[in-house]
Amino acid sequence: MENLLFIISLVAPVFIIVALGFILRRFGLINDNFVNLSSKIVFTVSLPALIFVEVYSIDFKAIFDLELIVFIYAGTLLSFFLSWAAAVPFIPQGRNRGVFIQGSFRGNFAIIGLAIIVNVLGTLSLGKASLLVAAVIPVYNILSVIVLTASLRNEKHVDVKQTIFEILKNPLIIAVFAAIPFSLFKIPIPNVALKTVEYLSALTLPLALIGIGGFMSFSGLKKDFPLVFFATLLKLVIIPLLAVYGAYLWGFRGENLGIIFILFACPTAVASFIMAEAMGLNGKLAGNILLLTTFGSVLTITIGLFLLKEHGLI
């Protein structure tokens, strides 16, 4: 019971802030414009600043873990193909199938994952997690483009070169590559500049979590509930269980096992809705998967972390 209460006390604040964003939206204190602008600020300014500060402040050579990165790549690919295999027999409509697959494998590690890691594993783990954000986001983007394009078949033309360029200019990836030389060669940054970046990075988690809450809506959930529930089951239960079991057999324990669980147990990323809308798929289904996985992950992440802690694995 002590471990359960401890885990709840660490996980709950993240989702309370998400719930606050939802409440603020219902009372009209924030609106679509706020959510859109705050998301842009987080994605282009404050989250890159957070990642830059964390990578800059760590010993890159000490925390770079190729084995962990390889496992996460393998796990992401397997979860992608598992989601696709699960969707094909039951979802004939391409507009729904692509959204289902993306919602089942693509997690919100950059926001909710980092917030939980800070609370559960501590700030020392944040640097390693920040590197993993940069490692996994290109894979998420590439796999999402593949599945959404395949689902649309010839309905829309996707420029592959433009897509690759968009991935390479992702602000989070740029932030990591910009910070690595400073970390590797111990290049000092003027205190004024560093403090400015730290202030910007402090905006990230509360602003992003409020924006996620403000984005969510229950409208239309009932209509798509079977697909939404199945995607949620895959995202929050089946894939994390397989990932943790595989990681355990691989030999991961402690901090690394905790990071692996959190990465694969995170709710669906907000970007999944944005990409579905932009490419002309079922945006309402994407939004509903985002909604249910976010609320459901309060329970599944809490239980998962409790079990790992109770058995001395993290």
Q: What is the H or E stretch that residue 281 is in?
A: none
Is the pLDDT at 61 greater than 80? The verdict is no
Q: How far apart are the first and last CA of the chain?
A: 17
**Residues 303-312, mean pLDDT to the nearest whole number:** 93
Tell me how far apart the alpha carbons of residues 172 and 174 are, in angstroms, rounded to a whole number: 5
Mean pLDDT (the chain, rounded):
87
What pLDDT was estimated at residue 86? Answer: 95
What pLDDT was estimated at residue 70? Answer: 95
**Residues 156-180, mean pLDDT to the nearest whole number:** 72
What pLDDT was estimated at residue 248? Answer: 97
The values of phi and psi at residue 219, to 5°, are -65, 130
Local confidence band at 150 (pLDDT 50, 70, 90 cut-offs):
confident
What pLDDT was estimated at residue 24? Answer: 94
Q: Do 250 and 71 contact (CB within 8 A), yes or no?
A: yes
pTM of the model: 0.83
Local confidence band at 63 (pLDDT 50, 70, 90 cut-offs):
confident
Work out the number of other CB atoms within 10 angstroms of the CB of residue 176: 23
2-310 has which fold?
Na+/H+ antiporter like fold (1.20.1530)
Please give the full DSSP string across 110-139, using - where no structure is assigned: IIIIHHHHHHHH-THHHHHHHHHHHHHHHH
Q: Do 156 and 280 contact (CB within 8 A), yes or no?
A: yes
What pLDDT was estimated at residue 154? Answer: 45
Amino acid identity of residue 220, one-letter, is: G
Please write the tens of the pLDDT for every residue from 84-128. 999 989 898 888 999 999 999 999 998 899 999 988 998 778 888
Please write the tens of the pLDDT for every residue from 128-139. 898 888 788 888
Please give the full DSSP string across 191-244, using - where no structure is assigned: HHHHHHHHHHHHTHHHHHHHHHHHH---TTTTTTHHHHHHHHHIIIIIHHHHHH
Out of 102-111, 146-155, 254-263, pick the least confident. 146-155
What pLDDT was estimated at residue 190? Answer: 93
Local confidence band at 163 (pLDDT 50, 70, 90 cut-offs):
low
